[in-house]
Amino acid sequence: MARTRRISSAVAVAAAALGVAALSAGPATAAPRADTTQFKGVNWADPRDNFADDELQLSGLLTTDSYRETYSKAKRIISAFRANLGANTVRLPINPYTVNGSYWDSYQGVIDAASDQGFKVIVSYWEGTGERKDGLIDDTTTYWPMWNRVVDTYKDNPRVYFEPMNEPHGYTETEWADLAAKWLDTYSSVPRDRVFVSGAGYNDHVTSVCADPRLAGTYLSLHHYGFWKSYATYDQWVADLKERIGDCAGRTVADEFGSPMTTGLDYNVPTPDDNFVNYLQAVTDTFRELKMGSVYWPGLRSDDTYSLQTLTGTEDRPWLATTNQSGADRLAWAWGRGEAVGD
């Protein structure tokens, strides 16, 4: 069974072999490729889980930082994602508070630092917290100006990708498809192969958006977590994931998935009675099998047991350390790296 494979920890630092040229986006008019394995990434998050009614402050950054300070810190953290994990993609949150005011001048330093190092950058809208955390756009009068500004800034940068909304669970499948189609019509100058349309619900299945011809040519984003279910076997997790993907693996990127990383679990060893080990082995094997890109949640989020990296260094010169090498090994395996070294 594929879940019995252990991955050599050496693959976690395979990033040294990655050249910037290999990370460059394809022609602007191209349709998504037959697989999405070019996206090998992590999420970089606010300690509050990106749900905020104010400016987003990514772990390791300060909202008082200037553009130059933000860029300098972000450059080091992006470099650490590459050095420690071999990543070439980062997913970042936005909201109107972050974009529509003066803080946008500084926050661009994160996107620019990643892009300048050859990273693909997925920019995703997140709703607020409390009563606003309902799976709906908080305020359309600030949502569209936010996207106007983001698209105007980055529409000509082929490394920047746009995700209209994270986990649109407040909408029906039809309502969400209508909204995604409206986004595409509004920003028709953006090549469709630079747009990630979230799966319906909590991004928990892509079959409905995949079937909508109005959304043709876009990538689809899927979320999948072990805490959603408790299955007795690895095979049940594989079946669960494949049902959510349907026949759409060629367009789909799992831009959120994750498991506890700071609790001592060894994801390289089959542990049939542990739901999280079964889950992570199953999904990483399946992403590799289906040639799907994947973006781990979170690569960095302070005080999150799922975080695969933790901050080290100083406040002005941050660096990262890996919290669970077996988790990093499984991520590398999902990305098509490593070799089976035992059963």
Is a pLDDT exceeding 50 seen at residue 2?
no
How sure is the predictor about 35, in pLDDT bands with cuts at 50, 70 and 90?
Answer: confident
pLDDT at residue number 33: 55
The percentage of the chain sitting over the pLDDT mark of 70, rounded to a whole number, equals: 89
Rounded to whole angstroms, how far apart are CA atoms 293 and 267?
Answer: 20
Q: What is the pTM of this model?
A: 0.90
Q: What is the pLDDT of residue 24?
A: 31
Residue 14 has pLDDT above 50, yes or no: no
pLDDT score of 95: 98
CA distances from 343 to 4, 6, 32 (A): 5, 7, 35
Q: Model confidence at 30, in pLDDT bands (50, 70, 90)? A: very low
The percentage of residues in the chain with a pLDDT greater than 90, rounded to a whole number, is 88
**Sequence-ordered list of residues with C-beta below 8 angstroms from that of 102, at least 6 positions apart, any chain:** none
> What digits encode the pLDDT tens for the residues 134-175?
999 999 999 999 999 999 999 999 999 999 999 999 999 999
Strand partners, 160: 121
Say yes or no to pLDDT of 11 above 60: no
- Check pLDDT > 70 for residue 57: yes
